[in-house]
Amino acid sequence: MATALPDWNGFYSMAGTSAAALIGLVFIVITLGAQMSKGGIEGAIHAFVTPCLMHFAGVLLQSLLILAPWPSPRYLGIPFTVLGLGGLLYAALTSRRMAKVGIVSPSLFDWLAYGGTPAIAGAATASGGFGLMEGWSPAPLAVALGTLLLLFAAIYQAWDLTLWIVRNRKD
């Protein structure tokens, strides 16, 4: 049995591989920043580090789902609809956590990268998943757009996290 969307194998192989590699690099950055003072940063970890890892993991999961053998793209639409709706909810929770963190003042780009872009990615993924279930021809493009937006948001988040750790590291 072949993958449900064989034309997209290359795209999702690259996206999944990139996400997996970047998850490892985020762990290295976090390890390097482990010397930082623990006072007051737990809220920041939940608001900034966890979403970065969750978004990379989401891209990896989406890639694995696409590359798995499915009997039909219609069946593939179910997990993508659920993932997209979950992504919308997670973007709202992340934005709420960011608003509560008192040790940093998020910029407009932070709000977009941690809340806005993942929310758009979730909406695209959910609508693409629903479209796959209904047999709409542009549905794979919507799912790919959601995956791509989530990957780029996570890359921004990882870079932002790295810069924050470098600036606040105690040598």
Q: Could you read off the pLDDT tens digit of each residue along the chain, which spans 171 residues?
A: 677 788 999 999 999 999 999 999 888 877 776 666 555 566 667 677 889 999 999 999 999 999 999 999 899 999 999 999 999 999 999 888 888 776 567 788 888 888 899 999 999 999 999 999 999 999 999 999 999 999 999 999 888 888 877 777 665
Taking CA atoms, 102 is separated from 60, 68, 75, 124, 161, in Å, by 31, 43, 44, 32, 16
Distance in Å from the first CA to the final CA of the chain: 55
> What is the pLDDT at residue 67?
94
- For residue 42, the model assigns a pLDDT of 64
Q: How far is CA 143 from CA 43, 67, 109, 132, in A?
A: 31, 13, 23, 9
Rama region for 40: left / alpha / beta (φ>0; ψ in -120 to 50; rest) = left
Quick one: pLDDT at residue 111? 84
Cα distance between residue 6 and residue 2, in whole Å? 7
Domain boundaries, the chain: 42-168
The single-letter code of the amino acid at 118 is P
Closest by CA position to 2, among listed 48, 59, 70, 100: 70
pLDDT at 39: 55
